[in-house]
A and B are shown apart, each in its own frame.
Chain A
Amino acid sequence: DVKVTQSSRYLVKRTGEKVFLECVQDMDHENMFWYRQDPGLGLRLIYFSYDVKMKEKGDIPEGYSVSREKKERFSLILESASTNQTSMYLCASSLGFQEEKTQYFGPGTRLLVL
């Protein structure tokens, strides 16, 4: 079974704090993704990575950065958290070729920024 884990299910932070969200997958997947999910807006791609040390901006990268030092781990960083970053954050991974049929999602981290 593919497993994608995220470091926290719930997180409460204050405005201006630096926040790290960690994601680990155990299936040697090349691609990893960070999404945020908000009511009425669906899943929106923040950043993705198709290889170690590689990163690409998604649709809403502003206010975020990422790090992929090892293949199994993809970190999302909020340099200075703001209240509009309160959201559900979902990590996903997939194999790197076009025939791959699905992404595998982690359980999500619900972040509240006060």
Chain B
Amino acid sequence: GQNIDQPTEMTATEGAIVQINCTYQTSGFNGLFWYQQHAGEAPTFLSYNVLDGLEEKGRFSSFLSRSKGYSYLLLKELQMKDSASYLCAVRAYSGGSYIPTFGRGTSLIVHP
């Protein structure tokens, strides 16, 4: 099985930077995903890391350390619309398939 841990809730100020951490324990690791989910909507893809290091995409960056079982999502220049739940998902090879397992999500509240 897999164990994925991320904080339940975070708050931050508009214009600031926030880092959302995700730790995991798994065998057959095959990539880590971050999704954004606004209330009442489906999750949408943000980033994918399979090798160690930082992936930057505009205001959002994602980091992975496979040896530490650790990732973070960095959000810069926060906007009110960034208030959402952020889901960390780890994909692992199991029984002939590549299956993602999701953490419980981090609810981010951005205030003025």
Show the binding face of A for B, using Cβ within 8 Å: 31, 35, 40-45, 48, 50, 56, 58-59, 90, 98, 100-108
Count of chain A to chain B residue pairs whose CB atoms are closer than 8 Å in the complex = 52
Q: Are B99 and A45 in contact (CB under 8 A)?
A: yes
Find chain A residues with CB under 8 A from B105 CB.
Answer: 42-43
Complex CA gap A73/B75 in Å reads: 36
B residues 81-107 in Cβ contact with A at 8 Å:
87, 89, 93, 95-105
Find chain A residues with CB under 8 A from B103 CB.
Answer: 42
The tally of residues in B whose CB lies under 8 Å from a CB in A reads: 24
Chain A at the B interface: mostly helix, strand, loop or mixed? loop
Q: Are A42 and B95 in contact (CB under 8 A)?
A: no
Indicate whether A108 sits within 8 Å of B98 (C-beta atoms), given known contacts A42-B87, A42-B103.
Answer: no
19 further contact pairs, Cβ within 8 A, besides A43-B87, A98-B93: A35-B102, A40-B104, A41-B104, A42-B87, A42-B103, A42-B105, A45-B101, A50-B97, A58-B99, A59-B101, A98-B30, A100-B98, A101-B33, A102-B33, A103-B33, A103-B45, A105-B42, A105-B44, A108-B42
